[in-house]
Structure 1
Amino acid sequence: MQNPTRLFASFVRSLPAAQGRRLRRNLLFVSLTLSLIAVLSIISKANAAGGAYTVDDAGINAPGECNIDAWYQNGRHGSSSSVVSQDCTLKGLPNVQLGAAVQHDRDDGDSETRLSPQFKAQIFSREDLGLELALAGSTHFAFNRAHAFDGVDLNLPFTYQPFETLRLNLNAGWTHAYDDGEQNHRWAWGTGVEYDLARSLTLIAERYGQQGGEQAWQAGPRLHVGERIDVDLVVGRNLTGERDQWLTTGATLRF
């Protein structure tokens, strides 16, 4: 039987040079992220979270709990995004989750960093019916622009859980963005499904878009490493324009 390390090395060498570089960068990001989380996990307990997925669920952290999400997305044509996000629910505000995300994008030699304060407030929750409804919003600020304000998003996430292993998510929202100096207002929507195939594995798929704007899908497995760490491996594709494809790797920590 061949050594698994040699088999993997042979597989990487067989890929086109660009794909091989993207795979190595994603694996390096996962390794560094898991190393950091392994240290923090001694005092933490992790569950599923939104992570790199665009379609949100209506759940929030329990009072006094926080989560950290980190992911790296590598596009087919050399673009990339790195994101670190943290959200917490304070004991004094048990129905509101507050947080912020920092995102760094690179494309064709240009780069941009954004800070996005965000919130999610639970409006309705009936565990016996498997129904949850929330209001979520975020504001975006660009660090390296003369015009720092970059836009705002509002969203109504709705989650229905007909079975213990199945969750259906529906999003309806509105986005205001500055695109190359032009202000755009668009309605946004998204649908997602999460299925717990096993105790350590959840399969996730989503389809989302904006009125007159981006249309895309993403899907992949979410690996539950014990009860403390979740790891996402996500593939996605834009359904408009050049139909770009991407690979995303990420991890979630809750404490």
Structure 2
Amino acid sequence: MNDNKRRTTIRWPRTAWLLAATCVFANAARAGGHFDVDDAGTLDPGQCQYEAWWGRTGPEPVKVLHVGPSCRVGPFELGLSLDRLSVGGVRSIVGGPQLKWNFLGPAADAPLSAALSLGAAFDLTRGGRAGGQFVLPVTWRPAGSLQIHANLGADWATGTGVRTGRGGLAAEWALDDKLSLIAERSRASGLWTSRVGGRFSLTPLISVDVSASIAGPQRVRGFVVGLNHEFSWR
């Protein structure tokens, strides 16, 4: 009896961490890799890409594995997001479709561009109400090597459907054609997060992302590493 109570006491904090991470990770904007603040760009016509990244955060810790393929179809970028989250043996799988449309400044060197990003998220492990996301990403290019990204939108949590606001600001500085530094400050699911990292281009179409983050009043630390690969489908 005492052993059963002890196991229950341990399990609840892990479940709470998993549900909180599901809200943050599963609703994160994906077109910017694993970074929380998305840019306004989309893939070129006839291009596809996949993003894969792994991260961990929190004292337990919570671990997440993400896979996200997407392709440009007409004026839209269509994608699929799939995340596996786990903490202390408790697991959750969340997935759903995504759509992004650049309606202003589609050129890669446009001084100002804006897009609409929509996504749905389904908890494939526990069910409940579907979640989702609506984001307006805006990118300003004050210089050829510097981009400022701003996001404004909302998330709907999987399971409960509770809506929370989302927003953020990021700066991306290209040191050269192989290395960019990224710093951002964002708020999602009621939690402020600061993140710094870099994007390393192995080839013109393959890059690696690495970042470290601090989130919330408890200053919870996290780390993520990801791979991005773009290719032609025609």
Q: For the superposition of Structure 1 and Structure 2, which TM-score range results when normalised by the shorter chain?
A: 0.7 to 0.9
* Distance in 2, Cα, partners of 1:89 & 1:228: 15
Matched, 1:130 2:111: yes
Report runs of 4+ in structure 1 exceeding 3 Å deviation.
126-129
In structure 2, what is the equivalent of residue 222 of structure 1? 199
* Distance in 2, Cα, partners of 1:236 & 1:106: 19
Q: 1:176-230 CA distances to partner (integer Å, 9 max, x unpaired)?
A: 214xx544222210111110012211001111104x7111011111111122310
Larger deviation: 49-58 or 164-173? 49-58
- Please say if residues 165 and 190 of structure 2, whose CA atoms lie closer than 8 Å, have aligned partners that are also in contact: no
Matched, 1:243 2:219: yes
Q: 1:129-172 CA distances to partner (integer Å, 9 max, x unpaired)?
A: 5111100011000111142x331110000001111100110000
- Please say if residues 130 and 161 of structure 2, whose CA atoms lie closer than 8 Å, have aligned partners that are also in contact: no
* Distance in 2, Cα, partners of 1:182 & 1:76: 23
3-state SS of 1:53 partner: coil
Alpha-carbon deviation of 1:62?
0.6
In structure 2, what is the equivalent of residue 196 of structure 1? 174
Correspondent of 1:252 among 208, 213, 228: 228
3-state SS of 1:198 partner: coil
Matched, 1:114 2:94: yes
Structure with the larger helix share: 1
In structure 2, what is the equivalent of residue 88 of structure 1? 71
Aligned-residue CA RMSD (Å): 1.7
In structure 2, what is the equivalent of residue 27 of structure 1? none
- Please say if residues 103 and 114 of structure 2, whose CA atoms lie closer than 8 Å, have aligned partners that are also in contact: yes
The residue identity in structure 1 corresponding to 2:200 is L
The residue identity in structure 1 corresponding to 2:92 is E
Correspondent of 1:144 among 121, 125, 149: 125
The residue identity in structure 2 corresponding to 1:214 is L
User: Scaled by the length of structure 2, what TM-score is found?
Assistant: 0.80
The residue identity in structure 2 corresponding to 1:51 is G
- Which structure has the larger Rg? 1
Task: Note the residue ranges of structure 2 that are not aligned, 5 or more in a row.
Answer: 1-30
* Distance in 1, Cα, partners of 2:214 & 2:80: 26
Matched, 1:186 2:167: no
Alpha-carbon deviation of 1:76?
4.3
Correspondent of 1:157 among 117, 128, 137: 137
* Distance in 2, Cα, partners of 1:220 & 1:214: 19
Once the two structures are aligned, what percentage of the paired residues are identical?
Answer: 28
In structure 1, what is the equivalent of residue 186 of structure 2? 208
The residue identity in structure 1 corresponding to 2:72 is T
* Distance in 2, Cα, partners of 1:129 & 1:73: 32
3-state SS of 2:204 partner: coil
The residue identity in structure 1 corresponding to 2:118 is G
- Please say if residues 37 and 184 of structure 2, whose CA atoms lie closer than 8 Å, have aligned partners that are also in contact: yes
* Distance in 2, Cα, partners of 1:83 & 1:126: 27
User: Scaled by the length of structure 1, what TM-score is found?
Assistant: 0.74
Task: Note the residue ranges of structure 1 that are not aligned, 5 or more in a row.
Answer: 1-48
* Distance in 2, Cα, partners of 1:70 & 1:51: 8
Alpha-carbon deviation of 1:239?
2.4
